Structure 1
Amino acid sequence: MKDTSSNTHTATAKFRQEGVHEQQSHEGATDATLIAAILDAQTEATLALAFEQRTANLIAMWRDGAVDPGAPGINYGALLGQIKERLDLA
């Protein structure tokens, strides 16, 4: 599986989970710390998926432009640059 380092939400989720684990080590696994961990993980997972979906949409748009480059106002070079950056290919 590809390293998702360009997806900052993945990195943020890992960082916050470490913080929640540290809080749990001090306070114990209380209802509050468990709920905090669940809510944080759910939020970051949703944002990470949105990032990946946007990347897929950019790829589809670029692919469609390769087939029919007649869409006005779309800079396909810049679009390809965004895709490469998101995939850590830039």
Structure 2
Amino acid sequence: MKKKSKTIALLQLINRGLPPEVWSRFHSLVQMRDDHTITDTELAELIELTDSIDLAHAQRMEALVELAVLQNKPLEALMDELGIRPVAIERYPIN
């Protein structure tokens, strides 16, 4: 794959976010967990959803690293250039 084509493919992967309904359900389940009103079924869904989100983030990071190497740039510089900031862990505390 040519460098330009590879760059485009990587940028598409990097910029692909999860649908708003996934995030809405995730935040709803987290709130239920924090309120201690979550059922076992909902907790299993939250765990599965968290695994899916983690996998998507890992794939995005792999694409970022690959693009940084392709462009011969430090990862942090590329992330700054693309306006990507790490998510603060404190946003999702485990109770």
TM-score w.r.t. length of structure 2: 0.48
**TM-score (norm: length of structure 1):** 0.50
